């Protein structure tokens, strides 16, 4: 399927239609330095029959694409994060209409920076996603008011030896999601910050439980 122009939907992106319309569509959100093709193979391994929607982050950090700015490692530009989250939500709306994506079943699959903006989406605009697989994510901000997350299914995959994400961060994020009513699974992997084959296997198995 030929994609609409980026100007029409707001992001350079790739879309791959579903092999099985019953499979939940997946929003792929790459990490720093990735692009719209980066997570397509991972998405196919985790969700082989799903439609895949993969935008490229619009912020550049030393030439590397990201979904929002940061001030330093682990310190986010909160104004930009809020703006970029709203921008991504608008893209989801437009892409859902353009590609006939069922937004009520849309799950995010985000890695690192992509996981963080997925968490921001869930905390700011929970209606935009049915849940997500957040790999090496952290708490993007402390919400003043928790959204209603009942019916959302969220898997957090974090590394025991991650030098970037403190262990308390995914724990706090999981607690926030649960307080909002989401069904949350937090799994620790024997890994650092990099995505591993074990992450892919755990994510694929978790996704099958939602069928």
Domains of the chain, by residue range, sit at 6-209
The predicted structure's pLDDT at residue 6:
56
50 is catalytic: no
Q: Choose, from 112, 120, 153, 199, the residue flagged as catalytic.
A: 112
Q: Choose, from 77, 80, 125, 193, the residue flagged as catalytic.
A: 193
The predicted structure's pLDDT at residue 1:
44
Distance of CA 151 to the CA centre of its chain: 17
30 is catalytic: no
Rounded CA separation 210/67 (Å): 28
C-beta of residue 184 within 8 angstroms of C-beta of residue 151: no
Q: Choose, from 30, 120, 162, 199, the residue flagged as catalytic.
A: 162
Q: Where are the alpha helices (DSSP H) in 100-154?
A: 113-124
72 is catalytic: no
Take residue 146 and report the two structure tokens written for it: 């928790």
- Our CA angle for 54, 2, 42, nearest 5°, is 30
Please give the CATH number for the structural domain made up of 6-209: 3.40.50.1820
144-182 burial code (b ≥16 CB/10 A, e <16) = eeebebeebbbbbbbbeebeebeeebbeebbebbeebeb
The predicted structure's pLDDT at residue 4:
60
Q: What confidence tens digit (pLDDT) does each residue in 16-62 have?
A: 999 999 999 999 999 999 999 999 999 999 999 999 999 999 999 99
Ramachandran sector of residue 98 (left: φ over 0; alpha: ψ -120 to 50; beta: rest): alpha
Which residues, given as ranges, of the chain have pLDDT below 50?
Answer: 1-2
């Amino acid at each position: 399927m030929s994609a609409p122009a980026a100007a029409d939907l707001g992001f350079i992106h790739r879309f791959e239609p579903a092999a099985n319309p019953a499979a939940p569509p997946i929003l792929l959100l790459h990490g720093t330095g990735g692009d719209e093709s980066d997570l397509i193979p991972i998405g196919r391994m985790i969700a082989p029959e799903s439609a895949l929607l993969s935008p490229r982050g619009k912020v550049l950090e030393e030439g590397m694409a990201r979904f929002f700015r940061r001030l330093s490692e682990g310190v986010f530009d909160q104004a930009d994060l809020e703006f970029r989250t709203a921008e991504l939500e608008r893209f989801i709306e437009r892409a859902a209409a353009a590609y006939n994506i069922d937004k009520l079943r849309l799950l995010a699959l985000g890695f690192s920076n992509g996981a963080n903006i997925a968490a921001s989406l869930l905390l700011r605009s929970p209606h935009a996603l049915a849940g997500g697989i957040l790999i090496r994510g952290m708490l993007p901000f402390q919400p003043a008011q928790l959204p209603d997350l009942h019916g959302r299914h969220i898997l957090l995959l974090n590394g025991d030896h991650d030098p970037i994400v403190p262990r308390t961060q995914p724990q706090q994020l999981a607690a926030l999601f649960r307080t909002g009513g989401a069904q949350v699974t937090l799994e620790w992997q024997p890994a650092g910050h990099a995505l591993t084959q074990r992450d892919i296997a755990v994510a694929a198995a978790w996704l099958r439980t939602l069928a």
